Structures are given as C-alpha cells and as structure tokens.
C-alpha cells in the first residue's frame, strides 16, 4: 500500500512530465539538438537511370546519354556549379586527398539552386566528331554536348594492357561560398571512362 508521500512523488512526476510536454514547442526554439550529418551528393547514372550500362565503346557520329545529379543535404539552400570536363588518360583528375580540382578547363557548366533535401538531375547527351587514328594514337577533335560543338583536340595513346584508346568525361561539384563571393571546389567528382573505337 502506498503512503501519502509516495502519492505526492507520483503526482509530482506526472506533473513534471506534463509541463515538459506542453513546453516542448517552446523548448525547441531555445534548445538546439545536434543536426545530422550535412553533405552534398554528386552522381552519374547510365541511360536507363541505373548505375549500369554506361557508354564505354564509343564511335564517331553516334549519340550517347548519361544522367548527372546533385543532392543537397547541407541544412540550407545551396548554390552549386557542376563543371563537365574531358581528359585523356595522362591528364590530371581532381585530387580528393588535397581537395583540389583538375586544372583542365570546363567544357560545359550547370548552375543550380537547391533547397535542403532537394535533388537535381539532368540528362547529358554527347557524341564525337572528327575522330582520327594513326598508328598507336587516337585523336578526338570535337565533342558535342547537348547539341553544342566543342573543340577538344585530345590525343590518347594505345593502351596495350587494356586494349583501347581511353578518354574520360568527368564532372566536378563546386559550391558557392558567400564569404568570398565565388564558387569553390566541393571535393566531389564522378566520371565515365570511354574507349574510342574505329567505325566498322
């Protein structure tokens, strides 16, 4: 059997829990609980909107497509730039260890405003013009991205081990920094390897 002092303790506990429940909306304005992990996503998908069936063996005059996407999970609105770059197997990629972008100039650019927990995705179509082969060299003179013809003039050496002339389309994610009023490399990039082949 409970004593009167035990009932007081039970009623006081119930009353305290009730006060906390009624005050919780106000407490959330004062108390800031730790937020979850804040990050940005960058992805590239194949033509079927899956992480498979990426274009690989490519020829002049044929159209190829992939999807590139960005996800904002930074806790606020973000302003992004996605730079499309093209390289042969000896030119530099971004350096994820040091957080530095590739020194190659962008061929194409997207600028995107995204609210928190929002995604953006775009289909990118590309094709090649003026491919040439001479001995152990392959030259790509022009790359067409979304209908825009871009002179690239890239040469690849024959890779005997992997049996191909390899180039790479890659995407860098940059984030606008309001402190310096400029975009900064956001240390994220994705790529697609391409083996340029002769038309048969």
What is the domain class of 39-196 according to CATH? mainly beta
Question: Which pair of structure tokens corresponds to residue 167?
Answer: 């180039």
pLDDT (0 to 100) of residue 141: 95
Local confidence pLDDT in tens for the 200 residues of the chain: 556 566 566 666 665 655 655 655 554 555 554 557 899 999 999 999 999 999 999 999 999 999 999 999 999 999 999 999 999 999 999 998 999 999 999 999 999 999 999 999 999 999 999 899 999 999 999 999 999 999 999 999 999 999 999 999 999 999 999 999 999 999 999 999 999 998 65
- Domain boundaries of the chain, sorted by first residue: 1-33, 39-196
Which residue spans within the chain are E strands per DSSP? 39-45, 57-58, 64-73, 78-88, 108-114, 118-134, 137-145, 148-157, 166-177, 182-196
pLDDT (0 to 100) of residue 198: 81
pLDDT (0 to 100) of residue 33: 46
- Measured on CA atoms in the order 59, 61, 67, 70, is the torsion positive or negative? positive
Q: Taking the complete model, does pTM exceed 0.85, yes or no? A: no
């Amino acid at each position: 059997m409970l004593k009167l002092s035990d009932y007081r303790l039970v009623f006081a506990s119930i009353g305290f829990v009730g006060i906390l429940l009624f005050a919780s909306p106000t407490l959330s304005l004062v108390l800031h609980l730790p937020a979850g992990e804040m990050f940005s996503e960058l992805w590239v998908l194949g033509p079927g909107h899956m992480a498979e069936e990426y274009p690989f063996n490519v020829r002049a005059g044929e159209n190829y497509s992939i999807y590139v996407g960005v996800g904002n999970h930074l806790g606020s609105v973000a302003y992004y730039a996605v730079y499309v770059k093209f390289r042969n197997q000896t030119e530099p990629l971004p350096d994820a260890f040091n957080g530095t972008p590739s020194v190659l100039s962008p061929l194409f650019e997207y600028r995107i405003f995204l609210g928190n927990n929002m995604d953006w995705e775009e289909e990118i179509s590309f094709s090649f013009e003026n491919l040439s082969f001479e001995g152990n060299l392959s030259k790509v003179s022009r790359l067409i991205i979304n209908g825009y013809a871009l002179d690239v003039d890239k040469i690849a050496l024959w890779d005997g081990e992997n049996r191909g002339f390899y180039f790479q389309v890659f995407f860098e994610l940059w984030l606008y920094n309001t402190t310096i009023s400029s975009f900064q490399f956001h240390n994220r990039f994705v790529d697609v390897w391409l083996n340029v082949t002769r038309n048969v």
